[in-house]
Structure 1
Amino acid sequence: MQSAATSLRALVHKWLGSTGDAMITRVHPPGISGGCVRAQVNRPAGSLAIFFFRHRDGGWCVFPPACRGS
């Protein structure tokens, strides 16, 4: 998987276009082990937020990691 090569900062920039204006919040959703953060930017058209999940390989993705039983 290529995700370990991409930092959270690079993914926020890729998806939201700015890292300086983004508000990053750590969240703890039930059933998700490891890290999960919410990145939000405020734009004239409204707020945009994306969740990023930390995977076992250390990379960050916009989809949650698979359950260990899968």
Structure 2
Amino acid sequence: MSPTEKTLHWAVDKWLAPTPAMPARVVRFCRTQMHRRCVCVEAARPGGLLSIFFFRHDDGSWNVFPPAQARPAMSAWRTA
């Protein structure tokens, strides 16, 4: 695993800090239109349920923000 790669388990631990008394569970898997994966994880909190979506990036890491979309680009070549 590269230093920049973050597993889903790591991201859930960071954002939701589940414990045996307040576990986290995956409640939904989905794929976006661009075939990107996302997972909704919820955890019980004293104030109620907390749900967060995690998005899989091209480098294999999981983050709470979706990956940037590929945008059209223009280039020019000089010919000699």
TM-score in same-fold range (> 0.5): yes
CA distance in 1, matches of 2:55, 2:66: 5
Identify unmatched segments of 5+ residues in structure 2.
Answer: 73-80
Say which structure, 1 or 2, has more relative contact order (CA 8 Å, 6+ apart): 1
Q: Detail structure 1 runs of 4+ shifted over 3 Å in the superposition.
A: none
State TM-score, norm by structure 2.
0.70
State TM-score, norm by structure 1.
0.79
Higher normalized helix content (fraction of residues): 1
1:7-56 deviation line (CA, Å, top 9, x unaligned)? 11011011000176111121234x44321001101122111011100011
Which structure is larger by alpha-carbon Rg, 1 or 2?
Answer: 2
Identify unmatched segments of 5+ residues in structure 1.
Answer: none
CA distance in 1, matches of 2:37, 2:69: 14
Taking a change above 3 Å as real, the CA distance of residues 58 and 34 of structure 1, as seen in their structure-2 partners, is: same
